């Protein structure tokens, strides 16, 4: 490491060093190294939001646009400081550092090969009595290169390759090239800091340091800079110390730093703390690491070198600050520093530790929304990856039609989010294992006036790895249902059940209404339209002469595939009434019911922006049975539902859906055998959805939001159809039953493979 003595006009003992410890590379000078072939550096996962974060930006900063340029080219691959920081994410989001000024307080700057183009600020000047800013030492140029070298296909590029460099030469004239190396006056540094603030610098880079505390003159300049909101990044030192150099420790003085001074430590290409780097020690709260070992850059002659030292981690952080400021110009210095700390990759011990401090610089994370995201112009929270789960009734509805919305994160940064892509769909269920994956025992007790029944389940496959999560957690045996049916008078029968459907209870009271033996294909009225864990149910049937009235009610909860931690699945309730009348061999029925869902829509879950307050569905059912003779009968059922979702969140009006379901049956029941064939369509949304007022534009300057009305269409493209054959034959005291079924486009998902299955069951009586 190159050490530099300090010439203090106030005769205060402060030793400053260039290149990291404050400053330079490990060794007296950067050792020339053959042009390296950089090893690709692991890059964190790309953000969910990849569109330009700035939707509308106040003048004069231009609005970043989604680049058509391939930034992931050979020059980027050579720029290992940028690669290690995952700067590609920032570039792809439109951030390049344009319009942002980085003050480099160092040995001046050279512009070999026009690497900096016209981006060396005309206000650049010398404070050390050298007469010019031209760098004859190479340290200042190499540091500036890591922060802001141009993207021109040659050499390497700096992290903020379009940023402006305010080069402030602060080495004392005649000291560079001596045995002790370049010296920096604390007074000159203080003047340069004040000058950088006055000339609009966003960040001040100090790739120098020393083992003495900063003199009061310099501390006062730090305080003036941070009071103005300017960020200062200073090197940790290159002595392998357990703490940063004393000069850098000014960052922990809240009265001076105001949280805007960052100590830069170095990591190597393997993301381990560089052996030479001073560690965070007790200053971890203000310490951040970036690549500082064998960093690709060039000197004042344009020669390629691999430099080492915390001096080179420092401009990587300064360049990252410039990228963030160019993308989000309204962010304050305090917000930028907080963002860098919050999004740093945790390394070493969990949390803030004594080696890596806050962690490792990670621009990929910094360019994702941080904290609680909300839709622009509202206080409605929105998830980056989970704003809804569509149930089978909505299947593969094309929610992507919503397009992109503007969201704001904790820092008020605007991002584009493809909201429709954040809706998941429930995977098509495979119901066969749920139907046969257990043995059931039933016991009944009663007479002609009252019957009580109890069903016990013993799981056959609960311990198998392919069993559902619910089944794996289920006790090996449990009571799963209980019911009681009682005749109130000669015209009236009442029933109550636990963990059973009201429709099943009602069918047990209806002459000729029970049976069929189907495992998979359901009657339209047999399900609320989604997988449910039944709670309590009741049914009352009363004969009114030629017509019978049946009243039913049930309640339960969804079988929720993505429940919130600690929350119960949403509750539902359903109540209805039906009339049936027999005309000789023909029985016709018609009825209606009201389905109330607490926090779901036909079993689908939506976030607060899309009406998570539940739904009301009016259901109309018609059906009939025709006795064909010889024990044969045919049946049909049709259900239509009209769902209303109250206006809430972004809904421009009440959401309305229409859904349908049907079943066609043919069967025969005899003393020794039974047969059934059913063709069915489970409940499916036929038409409908929501009109949503979606924020699609945002102006940082005024805070105003532009909205656009878009359609969330919830009708699926797929259409599930079911066919099932059930055959049974008496076998001793029991029955041998066989079921064969086929489901086309299961879950109403057009791309889902067919579900075909067969089951053989043996039931005995004892």
Annotated catalytic residues are 106, 139, 311
Going from the C-alpha of 608 to that of each of 331, 383, 388, 599, the distances in angstroms are 28, 10, 9, 10
E strand segments, 81-138: 101-106, 125-126
φ and ψ of 631, to 5 deg:
85, -5
DSSP string, 292-340: -SSEEEE-TT--EEEE-SHHHHHHHHHHHHHHHHHH-TT--HHHHHHHH
Determine the Cα–Cα distance for residues 306 and 286; give it in Å rounded to an integer. Answer: 27
DSSP string, 150-169: --SSSS---TTTTPEEEEEE
- DSSP-derived secondary structure letter, 403: -
Going from the C-alpha of 580 to that of each of 43, 305, 589, 634, 690, the distances in angstroms are 67, 90, 4, 16, 36
Q: Which long-range contacts (CB under 8 A, 24 or more apart) does 542-549 make?
A: 542/491, 542/492, 542/493, 543/491, 543/492, 544/491, 546/581, 546/582, 547/579, 547/580, 547/581, 548/510, 548/579, 548/580, 548/581, 549/577, 549/578, 549/579
Q: 379 near 391, Cβ under 8 Å?
A: no
Going from the C-alpha of 315 to that of each of 210, 240, 310, the distances in angstroms are 18, 20, 9
- Name the nearest CA neighbour of 158 among 352, 298, 259: 298
* Sequence-ordered list of residues with C-beta below 8 angstroms from that of 111, at least 6 positions apart, any chain: 117, 120
Give the residues across from 615 on adjacent strands.
Answer: 597
Q: 269 near 41, Cβ under 8 Å?
A: yes
């Amino acid at each position: 490491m190159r050490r530099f003595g300090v010439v203090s006009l106030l005769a205060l003992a402060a030793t400053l060093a260039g290149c990291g410890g404050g400053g330079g590379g490990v060794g007296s000078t950067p050792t020339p190294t053959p042009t390296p072939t950089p090893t690709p550096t692991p890059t964190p996962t790309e953000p969910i939001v990849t569109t330009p974060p700035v939707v509308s930006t106040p003048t004069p900063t231009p609005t970043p646009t989604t680049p058509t340029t391939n930034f992931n080219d050979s020059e980027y691959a050579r720029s290992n400081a940028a690669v290690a920081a995952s700067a590609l994410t920032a570039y792809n989001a439109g951030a390049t550092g344009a319009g942002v000024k980085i003050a480099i307080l160092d040995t001046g700057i050279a512009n070999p090969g026009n690497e900096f183009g016209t981006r060396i600020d005309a206000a650049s000047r010398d404070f050390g009595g050298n007469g010019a800013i031209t760098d004859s030492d190479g340290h200042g140029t190499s540091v500036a290169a890591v922060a802001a070298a141009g993207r021109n296909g040659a050499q390497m590029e700096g992290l903020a390759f379009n940023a402006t460099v305010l080069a402030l030469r602060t080495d004392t004239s005649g000291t560079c090239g001596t045995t002790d190396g370049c010296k920096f006056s604390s007074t000159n540094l203080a003047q340069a800091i004040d000058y950088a603030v006055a000339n609009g610098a966003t960040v001040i880079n100090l790739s120098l340091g020393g083992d003495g505390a900063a003199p009061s003159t310099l501390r006062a300049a730090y305080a003036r800079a941070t009071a103005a909101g300017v960020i200062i990044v200073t090197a940790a030192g290159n002595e392998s110390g357990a703490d940063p150099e004393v000069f850098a420790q000014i960052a922990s003085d809240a009265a001076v730093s105001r949280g805007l001074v960052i100590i830069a430590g170095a990591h190597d290409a393997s993301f381990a703390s560089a052996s030479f780097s001073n560690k965070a020690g007790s200053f971890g709260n203000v310490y951040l690491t970036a690549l500082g070992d064998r960093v690709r850059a060039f000197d004042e002659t344009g020669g390629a070198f691999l430099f080492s030292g915390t001096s080179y981690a420092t401009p990587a952080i300064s360049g990252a600050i410039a990228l963030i400021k160019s993308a989000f110009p309204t962010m304050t210095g305090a917000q930028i520093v907080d963002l860098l700390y919050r999004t740093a990759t945790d390394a070493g011990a969990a949390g803030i530790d004594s080696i890596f401090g806050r962690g490792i610089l990670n621009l990929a994370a910094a360019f994702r929304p941080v904290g609680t995201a909300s839709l622009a112009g509202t206080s409605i929270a929105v998830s980056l990856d989970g704003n809804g789960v569509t149930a089978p009734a909505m299947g593969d509805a094309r929610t992507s039609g919503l397009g992109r919305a503007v969201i704001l994160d904790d820092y008020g940064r605007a991002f584009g989010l493809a909201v429709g892509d954040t809706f998941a769909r429930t995977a098509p269920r495979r119901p066969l294992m749920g139907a046969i994956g257990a043995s059931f025992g039933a016991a009944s007790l009663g007479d002609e006036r009252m019957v009580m029944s109890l069903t016990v389940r013993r799981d056959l496959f609960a311990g198998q790895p392919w069993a559902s999560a619910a089944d794996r957690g289920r006790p090996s045996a449990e009571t799963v249902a209980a019911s009681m049916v009682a005749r109130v008078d000669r015209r009236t029968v009442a029933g109550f059940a636990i963990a059973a459907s009201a429709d099943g209870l009602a069918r047990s009271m209806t002459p000729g209404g029970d049976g069929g033996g189907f495992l998979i294909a359901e009657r339209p009225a047999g399900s609320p339209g989604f997988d449910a864990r039944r709670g309590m149910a009741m049914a009352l049937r009363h004969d009114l002469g030629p017509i019978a009235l049946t009243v039913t009610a049930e309640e339960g909860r969804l079988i929720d595939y993505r429940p919130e931690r600690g929350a119960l699945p949403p509750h539902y309730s359903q109540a209805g009434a039906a009339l049936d009348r027999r005309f000789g061999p023909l029985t016709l029925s018609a009825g209606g019911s009201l389905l109330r869902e607490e926090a779901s829509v036909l079993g689908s879950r939506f976030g607060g922006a899309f009406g998570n307050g539940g739904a009301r569905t009016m259901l109309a059912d018609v059906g009939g049975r025709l006795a064909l003779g010889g024990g044969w009968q045919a049946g049909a059922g049709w259900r239509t539902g009209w769902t209303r979702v109250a206006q809430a969140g972004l809904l421009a009006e009440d959401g309305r859906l229409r859904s349908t379901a049907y079943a066609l049956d043919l069967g025969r029941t005899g003393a020794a055998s039974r047969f059934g064939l059913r063709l069915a369509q489970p409940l499916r949304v036929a038409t409908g959805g929501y009109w949503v007022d979606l924020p699609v534009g945002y102006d940082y300057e005024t805070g105003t939001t532009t909205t656009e009305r878009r359609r969330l269409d919830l009708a699926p493209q797929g259409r599930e159809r079911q066919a099932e054959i059930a055959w049974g034959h008496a076998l001793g005291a029991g029955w041998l039953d066989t079921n064969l079924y086929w489901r086309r486009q299961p879950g109403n998902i057009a791309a889902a493979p067919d579900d075909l299955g067969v089951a053989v069951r043996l039931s005995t009586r004892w």
